[in-house]
Amino acid sequence: MRGSATATDTAAGHRRIRRSAEAVASAALLLPLLGAAPSGAQTPADRLQLAFASAAAEYHVPRSVLLAVSYLQSRWDAHAGAPSVTGGYGPMHLTDARTALADARPHHSEGTEDARGDSARPPLHPAAKVPRASQLPARLRTLPKAAELTGLSAEELRTDPAANVAGGAALLAAAQQDLGEPPSKDPADWYGAVARFSGADDSATATAYADDVYDVLRTGEERTTDAGQHVALAARPDLAPDTAPLARTGLRTLDADGAECPKTVSCEWIPAPYEEFGEGDYGNHDLGDRPASQSIDYIVIHDTEGAWDEVLNLVRDPAYVSWNYSLRSTDGHIAQHVKAKDVAWHAGNWYVNAKSIGLEHEGFLANPDAWYTEAMYRSSARLVTYLAEKYDIPLDRQHILGHDNVPGPTTATVGGMHTDPGPYWDWSHYFALLGRPFEPTAGKDGGLVTIRPDYAANRPGYTGCVTQGEPCAAHGSSEVRLYSDHDTKSALIKDVGLGTTPSTGVNDVSSRVSTGQQYAVADRHGDWTAIWYLGQKAWFKNPAKSPTAVNATGFVVTPKKDLASVPVYGRAYPEASAYPAGVPAQAVSPLPYKLLAGQKYVVGDKVPGEYYYAATFTADSHKVVVGKDLYYEIQFGHRVAFVRAADVRVVSSAS
């Protein structure tokens, strides 16, 4: 087979790919120009589409299969040659982790946040030493393999999208041949090769990956990439793959016993330890009885700030902290560590920990080009959909929180709270995958806005990704910057709780709103909209022709008529009289903010004050304390917060 994995003349293979790329370029020159390549040179708008056709023909891979695999890897984006979080390059996400994989930085031992967030116990600031993987797995070395198969250099495969696509086609062809399958023109015959392409070493992950690819084939896709390339894949709704070759892949059977996941994802049980160590210490989570003892109200989205194997080693350390699930970038594989009934230490706020499930996604907040794969987004969305249905968690941004949306529980903790997954997590795409896209629900008289910039086009400048104060690489973002007036030259909104001058730092959330969050409209002026935010009127640019928010309606809270202001809290704890003997009362301490008369904030749940006492290794002393005081969760700033129901009234946003 020409261009197959067994071709011995790699130089000839190299020449063939060069001829294919030249043919693509020659044909593309006849087409109209659209957009600019990362280098600034104009490129025909469907050069990438032609590259898929050329590589498919060269390696005898169905073009639709090649397109669908690439969509699941990168949504056809090239990311200007920058690597993903796992060292994957280009539209086919060919991995070369030796040259690109970022160093791990233990997520929960950075800064001053106490991941447990329970002031009834000494602060927990683990200083973990990150264990290194001894050898990179095959899934992180596909680019060198593609170079071997095609004769193309590693540099070409990293930087030239057409070469990258050819490398992916060569890998698929090699996988098909290894399975003893002919180079069929029928997409249904490539299921096994697609499963192998995932790089997974177990059949469950490979199957979930292949199922996703064939879902893309059935539904079809069309979009304009980050380089202005228009790519389309026609739908094949009746396509039914032949799954029999999967049995010949030789992949191991995954140990999913005990894992709580939907059947539509690959999931294994890698437990976090619950054991005593030292003197009176135990880790790295607490036993519970949720949802019987307490409702589960939140899902918290994190990024790992480390690579997969290193992160798994950390969560298995009893002296570290824990979270419920980890998700792998290359193929969307999931590992569960803490049962939903138990309480993991991940959010930095004990009230939120006791009421939430934490998901860690392999990635790095301050590396805008270290992009997440579509495979991980889809796997995460399926897991969240499953958990939300099982525990009756609303699919909105007051319940599906980023770690950066979790409030500091006390004034002293506000400045140390974490800021992941950060401005480069694509909330709009994520909620579309959850089946809850952010749509307008009212006209301008609705009283609310839902933040919804165009992720690719929205590129606010950030600093500090690599060097303090230095600009980050330009990149799409889910977040919108807030100003003190309707002018980009005016001061940024200040967060009094931080006590610092607001900045454009990638970790400074003081003057930013995020996609999907809802706020009450305070004013409008031309292309600008003002919202109530942290007790202030905050402005953001919102032009009618390219809006950064859409209109909405709903319910808001405002101080009762006889109150000039009401306190704001970072946790909804019971009143002192609710605590039984043996359980020390926790302070109901307000944060350094006020909700002022005349201001309105979007309301979420109405909840009783609640505290989970779990300060000992044995669970017989654990108690859930529920008070009579009621609270409303509100969207107060970038983070959510709580106000006492007795202090506020609930009104329609349109009133």
How far is it, in rounded angstroms, from Cα 489 to Cα 494? Answer: 15
Residue 612, φ and ψ in degrees, nearest 5: -100, 110
pLDDT above 80: residue 482:
yes
Where residue 24 falls (left for φ over 0; alpha for ψ -120 to 50; beta otherwise) is alpha
Together in a domain, 227 and 261: no
Domain contains 129:
no
Residues 208-250 have pLDDT tens digits of: 999 999 999 999 999 999 999 999 999 999 999 999 998 888 8
How far is it, in rounded angstroms, from Cα 279 to Cα 96? Answer: 44
Position 25 scores a pLDDT of 41
Percent of the chain with pLDDT over 90: 75
Assigned token pair, 55: 């590589």
How far is it, in rounded angstroms, from Cα 607 to Cα 628? Answer: 10
Position 120 scores a pLDDT of 84
Position 134 scores a pLDDT of 53
111-115, 231-235, 291-295, 630-634: the lowest-pLDDT one: 111-115
Assigned token pair, 622: 């654990």
- Residue-range definition of the domain harbouring residue 192: 10-101+148-248
Together in a domain, 287 and 201: no
Average pLDDT, the chain: 89
Confidence of residue 131 (pLDDT cuts 50, 70, 90): low
Together in a domain, 593 and 643: yes
Contacts of residue 593, defined as CB under 8 A and 6 or more positions apart, other chains included, come to: 496, 497, 534, 535, 567, 568, 636, 637, 641
3-state secondary structure of 127: coil
Together in a domain, 261 and 241: no
Given 227, 248, 269, which residue is the final one in a domain?
248
pLDDT above 70: residue 100:
no
CB 625 within 8 A of CB 578: yes
Together in a domain, 241 and 262: no
Average pLDDT over residues 275-300: 92
Together in a domain, 633 and 614: yes
Assigned token pair, 313: 């080693």
Together in a domain, 213 and 277: no
Average pLDDT over residues 484-508: 96
How far is it, in rounded angstroms, from Cα 215 to Cα 235? Answer: 10
Domain contains 540:
no
CB 187 within 8 A of CB 210: no
How far is it, in rounded angstroms, from Cα 281 to Cα 618? Answer: 12
The helices-and-strands tally (H runs, E runs) of the chain is 13, 30
Position 12 scores a pLDDT of 35
pLDDT above 90: residue 278:
no
Q: How far is CA 581 from CA 35, 287, 294, 528, in A?
A: 69, 21, 20, 55
Residue 140, φ and ψ in degrees, nearest 5: -105, 15
pLDDT above 50: residue 8:
no
pLDDT above 50: residue 595:
yes
Sign of the Cα pseudo-torsion (396, 401, 407, 409, in order): positive
Helical segments of 179-318, H only:
191-197, 203-219, 308-315
93-102, 309-318, 393-402, 455-464: the lowest-pLDDT one: 93-102
Residues 242-273 have pLDDT tens digits of: 999 988 888 888 877 789 999 999 999 999 99
Together in a domain, 185 and 299: no
How far is it, in rounded angstroms, from Cα 416 to Cα 124? Answer: 13
How far is it, in rounded angstroms, from Cα 522 to Cα 258? Answer: 49
Contacts of residue 251, defined as CB under 8 A and 6 or more positions apart, other chains included, come to: 195, 200, 201, 202, 203, 206
Average pLDDT over residues 469-483: 94
Position 105 scores a pLDDT of 62
Here the CATH number for the domain that contains residue 69 is 1.10.530
Position 440 scores a pLDDT of 97
Domain contains 211:
yes
Average pLDDT over residues 338-351: 97
CA Rg value for the chain: 26
How far is it, in rounded angstroms, from Cα 324 to Cα 328? Answer: 14
Percent of the chain with pLDDT over 70: 90
pLDDT above 50: residue 634:
yes
Query: Virtual CA dihedral for 504, 505, 510, 512, nearest 10 degrees?
Result: 60
Given 423, 446, 469, which residue is the final one in a domain?
423
Together in a domain, 291 and 198: no
Domain contains 162:
yes
Position 196 scores a pLDDT of 95
Q: What is the DSSP letter of 425?
A: S
250-254, 474-478, 607-611: the lowest-pLDDT one: 250-254
pTM of the predicted model, to two decimals? 0.90
Look at the chain and report how many structural domains it folds into. Answer: 3
Domain contains 435:
no
How far is it, in rounded angstroms, from Cα 55 to Cα 420? Answer: 38
Given 398, 423, 448, which residue is the final one in a domain?
423
Position 243 scores a pLDDT of 95
Position 485 scores a pLDDT of 98
Domain contains 627:
yes
Position 97 scores a pLDDT of 81
Q: Report how far Cα 242 is from the mean position of its chain's Cα atoms.
A: 32
How far is it, in rounded angstroms, from Cα 600 to Cα 446? Answer: 13
Residues 13-65 have pLDDT tens digits of: 343 334 344 444 433 333 332 223 343 444 588 999 999 999 999 999 999 99
How far is it, in rounded angstroms, from Cα 71 to Cα 215? Answer: 11
3-state secondary structure of 492: strand
Together in a domain, 195 and 321: no
Domain contains 296:
yes
Paired strand residues for 558: 649
Here the CATH number for the domain that contains residue 381 is 3.40.80.10
Position 356 scores a pLDDT of 98
pLDDT above 50: residue 124:
yes
Q: Report how far Cα 488 is from the mean position of its chain's Cα atoms.
A: 29
Domain contains 500:
no
Together in a domain, 283 and 376: yes
DSSP H or E stretch at residue 170: helix 161-178
Closest CA to 202 of 244, 245, 270, 254: 254
Position 126 scores a pLDDT of 74
Where is pLDDT greater, at 612 or 201? Answer: 612
Position 2 scores a pLDDT of 29
Average pLDDT over residues 586-603: 96
Together in a domain, 244 and 337: no
How far is it, in rounded angstroms, from Cα 306 to Cα 310? Answer: 7
Position 310 scores a pLDDT of 85
Paired strand residues for 531: 521, 538
Cα angle value 639/583/641 (rounded, 5°): 10
Residue 35, φ and ψ in degrees, nearest 5: 75, 180
Residues 141-183 have pLDDT tens digits of: 999 999 999 999 999 999 999 999 999 999 999 999 999 999 9
Closest CA to 464 of 371, 348, 362, 368: 368
